[in-house]
Structure formats: C-alpha cells, structure tokens
Structure 1
C-alpha cells in the first residue's frame, strides 16, 4: 500500500510564509484591530480622560443613540447623502470612461482634465465651492443674469445638502473614471469585433460585453465609493458645520462633535461603532452579491 504524505504546518514553506507575514500581522493588529477593539470597549464607558476618568456604563450609550432624535436625523442625512452621491459617482464616470476609451480628439487632455479634481485637497475644494455658492458668489451672479433670484445655498435647509453632494461627486469622478478605463482596457477587443459581425449595436455591446466584463471593476468602485462617501467629513467641516438646523450633519461629523466638542467619548464611540457596522454590512452585501453572480 503506497504511503500517503500529508503537508505539515511546520514545513519550510509554511514557516517562511509566517516569517514574512508576521510583521504585517503585527502592524495590522496594532494600527487596525487594536483601535477597533478599543473603540468597541470605549462605547460601553462614560466620562473624561482628563478629570473624572471613565466608568463602565454597559449599553447606556447605545440606548441614548436609539432615543436621540438628532442621531436619527444625522443617520437619515447620511443615508440621503450616500445614496445621492454613490449612484452618480458610478454612472457618470462609467459613461465618461466608455467615451474616452475610444479614439476621439483630445482624448488624453480630457482624461487629465477629468482626473484633476481627484488630486485636489478636499479642504481646498470645499473652500472653493463655498466661495462659488456664497450669497454674492459666481453661481448667484449667473442666476441673477438670467432673471433668477439669488439663493442662499449653504444657509437653506433644502439646498445645502445638494451642494455638498455636488462637491463629493465632482471630487470622486476622476478616480472612478480611471478605474473604469483600466477595466475597459482589460476586455479583449475581439469580443466587440465578433459582436459587430453578428450585428450587435452599441447599446447591445455595452449591455452584454462591457458590463459583464466590468463586473469586478464595478464591485471595487462601488465598495471604495461607499466607504469614501460614508467617511465624509471635510466638506461638512469647511462648508456648513452641519447646518443649517442640522440638515447637513453627517455621521462622521456628528461623531467628531460629540467627541471633541462635547468630550462625550463613550457616546461618540458608540456612534462610531454603528458607522463601522453599517460600513461592514454594506461591503459584505456587495461582495456577497458579486460572489453569487459569479
């Protein structure tokens, strides 16, 4: 009877792999898993680090979140902001990528122009948008020139959030366009040539060749865009400060206010834990959907 050899977990390859992985695992534990564990612990405490110290309060901070109408308003603002930002930030760059993947005039210049917002500081972009949409700014001047009354954009509970959404879309557009361009160039041109020979029009080629070929790229772009949008802070801090009347207060800015303005670290940690849970659930659902389709 032939002897069956089983691979030992102490063989040379395994030992070498662990030697190379250990520094990365240690850094991961120190800078990611450690802070997450401490955040979770902190969400069950109350008090200050400088005066009274911290006390264990159990689920009190989570109960306060459930009963606080401001938290639910902020959560609703975050959902509205995320949905209204993510969908255009995927659709518009996809269309631009399909267009700029073809041989058209000034293609390289257009690619560079659309990508430029991605390398601009979000604080600088926020200051620029605040200037554009101030009561005597260029946007109101343009509206006034065509007979439309000026709008107090950042001081209006209806218009302030769309301005933040517009800034976020503009800022993320170039990055996703480059991602989609890379995905498009990985699709073999022979598929399009065969589709043309079979009489498929441009829309049919997009639906049956481009979208299926871009599926991994779409998942990556969706996950990164959702994460980037959920952690939005700078535009709120620079442009509106969460106002007017809490209408633009997003979850990350709310956590910042509770932690570093109110010094309620336990409550802020509970809100941050909720944000982390929402992010993980959304990423899990997106990855699971992609896995089932493949």
Structure 2
C-alpha cells in the first residue's frame, strides 16, 4: 500500500515538473512565435485580401472585384505556359541535381583521405550569390567574348546559347545545377556519415558486391535523407528567379519565363498586385502539395 502511495506521489511531482517546464518554455518561445506570426501570417492574409481587389485605380483605396483576378489569371494562356516551363525547369533540374549530388556524395564518402578538402572545394558554388551565378553564366555564354560560347564554336555547336529559344532553358537549368547540386551532396553525405557500420559489415559477410550493397543497403537507409534534400531544393527552385532575371530576363520569346518570374513581372513591372497575389497563392498551394508529397513518402519509408 505504501509503495502505491509513493508511486502516485512521484507521478504527481513529475507531472508538476513537466507542466512547469512546459510553461517556462512556452513563455520563452512566445516572443519569437509572435514575431513569426507577424512576418508570415499577416502577409499571407493580406495576399488573400489582395487577390480579390483591383489596385489599378488606387493603391491606397483598391476596389473589390471578387473573383475577377482569379478568372483573369486562370484564363490567361501565359499563366499555364509559365507553369509548363516551370515543371520542365524543376523536373529536369531536380533529377540532374539528385543523380550528380548523390553520386558525388558516394564518391566523397568512399575517399580514403582528403574528404574535407574535396567537400570544401565542391561546396564553393553554394556560397556564390544567385545574382552572381546569373552574371557568370551570362558573361561565359556571351556570343562576343564568352569563353563557353567560344568553346562551343570550336566544336561546331550552337552559339548564342542564351539568345536561342531551344537552348536558353537548358542553359538556365545547368546554371542552377552547378550552383545547388553541392547542397544535395552535403545533405546526402551527412546521411551517409550517420549510417551504422553493422548493415554494411553484414552485407560483406554475405558476399555482396558494391552494387548490391548500394542498391539493397545504402540507398534504402539514406532514402529519407535524399527526400529531405529534394524537399529543400524543390521549394527553393520554385521561387528563385535571380539567374533568370540576370541571364535572360525571361526570354527569348518567353522561353525561360517560369511562374516565379511571371509573378515578379506582373506584380512589380505591370503593378498588377491583384493578379500577382493570385499567382503567389497558386505557387504557395503547389509548394504545400510538394511538401505533403515528400512528407508522406518519408512516413511511408518509416
């Protein structure tokens, strides 16, 4: 009987301690939570409000037009074509970054020496500002003095890459691959370094070759890490338009005008904040669905 009383008393003390700790943590986090709400929730609510308003007459006193902006944007062929180019840009870019990034991470992981030096050199593009990356691509592919353009001409290949409808988008994709593939490498390499040695040793005992270990042991164990890397990059690649703005300005003939650049053009060049808000909300919805897809995939792996 005394034992049960002691246990009940201990549980009560533990519950009070947990409640006190939770209360302390809550009040410590409250200022940052309020600040986060101010800088994220309010703009989101204002974005919804702006999507139903017409700012063309007066920005201070916009006119309510209901679903007018939504009808205009969703019936605009440029909106759908920009999303088509976005899917192409995101899809090909992520696939290339995935294969190159994972391959480089595996290569670095198996290096006997000098891993830190290789990682440092490989990560240099990540620290280059996207605007600078766009400028580098623009100058290197310039038809007058660009090094890459000159090298392509030596092999009889297409020059004026950024001025050609068929080659401008691949060039932009390769710029993004060059800059952000090292980020995927770093994330995957962190997952590889956290692997337990026991499954690999067991595979060696069973006589598995490297390809079998890679297929049945290594890749399944780091699958969630790869998904996290893809989630981070998919959200970034949808909203970063710096390289496109600097290198091609959405051209030639709108061939590189992805939805992010189209939003920037509508909102800030044409000052159509209502339609720009609609475009922003569609991008937000797509980003949320992508996040949900990757999270469900991770839960399935779990």
2:212 pairs with 1:204:
yes
The equivalences for 1:157-196 within 5 A come to: 157-196=165-204
- Structure 1 partner of 2:293: 285
Decide whether the 8 Å contact of 1:164 with 1:235 is kept in 2.
yes
User: Structure 1 residues 134 and 21, CA, compared in 2 at 3 Å: closer, same or farther?
Assistant: same
Q: How many residues align?
A: 293
* d(CA) in 1 for partners of 2:69, 2:59: 20
Decide whether the 8 Å contact of 1:135 with 1:150 is kept in 2.
no
* d(CA) in 1 for partners of 2:173, 2:232: 17
- Structure 2 partner of 1:21: 29
* d(CA) in 2 for partners of 1:217, 1:59: 41
Give 1:252's match in structure 2, choosing from 256, 260, 274.
260
* d(CA) in 1 for partners of 2:57, 2:191: 49
2:79 pairs with 1:60:
no
CA RMSD of superposed structures (Å): 2.3
Decide whether the 8 Å contact of 1:89 with 1:176 is kept in 2.
yes
- Structure 2 partner of 1:71: 79
- Structure 2 partner of 1:140: 149
1:149, distance to aligned residue in structure 2 (A): 4.8
1:24, distance to aligned residue in structure 2 (A): 2.2
* d(CA) in 2 for partners of 1:49, 1:255: 20
Q: Which stretches in structure 2 are left out of the alignment for 5+ residues? A: none
Name the TM-score, length of structure 1 as normaliser: 0.93
Bigger Cα Rg: 2
State the SS of the aligned residue for 1:151: coil
- Structure 2 partner of 1:99: 107
* d(CA) in 2 for partners of 1:105, 1:18: 46
Decide whether the 8 Å contact of 2:224 with 2:301 is kept in 1.
no
Decide whether the 8 Å contact of 1:114 with 1:173 is kept in 2.
no
2:73 pairs with 1:83:
no
User: Structure 1 residues 52 and 183, CA, compared in 2 at 3 Å: closer, same or farther?
Assistant: closer
1:140, distance to aligned residue in structure 2 (A): 2.5
* d(CA) in 2 for partners of 1:153, 1:93: 25
* d(CA) in 2 for partners of 1:117, 1:59: 43
* d(CA) in 2 for partners of 1:22, 1:100: 42
Decide whether the 8 Å contact of 1:232 with 1:250 is kept in 2.
no
Decide whether the 8 Å contact of 1:141 with 1:150 is kept in 2.
no
Decide whether the 8 Å contact of 1:126 with 1:167 is kept in 2.
yes
- Structure 1 partner of 2:38: 30
* d(CA) in 2 for partners of 1:161, 1:32: 32
* d(CA) in 1 for partners of 2:115, 2:55: 58
User: Structure 1 residues 58 and 207, CA, compared in 2 at 3 Å: closer, same or farther?
Assistant: same
Show CA shifts across 1:125-151 (max 9, x none): 1111111111132222112223x0542
Q: Which stretches in structure 1 are left out of the alignment for 5+ residues? A: none
